[in-house]
Amino acid sequence: MSRVSRLDGTRFGPWALVTGASSGIGRGFAEQLAANGINVVLAARRLSTLDEIGQELAQRHGIEFRTVRADLSRPDFMDTVIEATRDLDIGLVVSNAGDMVMGEFLASPADALVDEARLNVDAHLLLTHHFGQRLARRGRGGLLLVSSTAALQGVPYSANYAASKSYVFTLGQALHHELAAAGVHVTVLLPGATATPMLGRFGADKTAMGRLAMPVDACVADALKALRANRAVRVSGFMNRLLLVTTPRSARTRLMGALSKTMAARLVTPV
């Protein structure tokens, strides 16, 4: 971990909840929060992986950790999360867990699309509602919602994903203003291509996208810096921000749709 963004443990600690913490950007958040001396609650489906990560962070940074086995695409996941955090002073929630169904919308199984929507929409809704109330009563803290640059236009061949991430984007923007008076920082992170296991899953790690992907630690450090400054929205990476400024929305739809179509084909035809 080469880049760490400093965060005030008095405001955003002593405990932080990170969903999707077993890999990728979620794991990156857990690492940087622990480096700031903030105790972490790690939530994901793979409990053994979470335990390994928590033990490593505790040994390296002297923090406490708690792991929660939860499938955030299931309607009852909040019962588990609430019970696991009831006795903790949560100062920050990083609502990061998400997934992507790639391919033609009409050819995708309906139940897979529903699960994707539950994970990418419902989970963020329920987490922000419950913990937003707790943080508002506390009078300080933060919510950091992980969306995607896919949220800023329709994306063929990952249409449901882009639509669900758009919900997270607009929800976070609105809550940034609603919760400001309560002393709660709310920031939405919009990552572009980031060097996570998801790129490998779609074979994009061997393409130009993979070579240009932003390192996880840089993406996370950028997000925590934006949260500290209480910025409503942060698009990670200079090139991503430049693309949004210089490329019309319709052109981004075509460009990102072509990339999604290529990655979907890789799922069917391994390279």
Question: All domains of the chain, ordered by start, with CATH?
Answer: 9-268 (3.40.50.720)
Report how far residue 131's alpha carbon sits from residue 137's, in angstroms, rounded to the nearest whole number.
10
Task: Reply yes or no on whether the pLDDT at 108 is more than 80.
Answer: yes
Q: Is 165 a catalytic residue?
A: yes
Q: Is 261 a catalytic residue?
A: no
Report how far residue 243's alpha carbon sits from residue 259's, in angstroms, rounded to the nearest whole number.
15
Report how far residue 200's alpha carbon sits from residue 113's, in angstroms, rounded to the nearest whole number.
21
Report how far residue 67's alpha carbon sits from residue 15's, in angstroms, rounded to the nearest whole number.
12
Q: What is the pLDDT of residue 269?
A: 47
Cβ proximity of 201 and 189 under 8 Å: no
H helix runs in 139-202, sequence order: 159-178, 197-201
Nearest Cα neighbor of 186 from 122, 244, 245, 127 is 127
For the chain, percent of residues with pLDDT exceeding 70: 91
Q: What is the pLDDT of residue 271?
A: 35
pLDDT tens profile 32-87? 999 999 999 999 999 999 999 999 999 999 999 999 999 999 989 999 999 999 99
157 vs 260: which has the higher pLDDT = 157
Considering 165, 206, 225, 261, which one is annotated as catalytic? 165
Considering 161, 167, 206, 225, which one is annotated as catalytic? 161
User: Residue with structure tokens 């976070």?
Assistant: 172
194 vs 47: which has the higher pLDDT = 47
Q: What is the pLDDT of residue 270?
A: 41
Q: Beta 184-190 vs 90-95: how paired, if at all?
A: unpaired
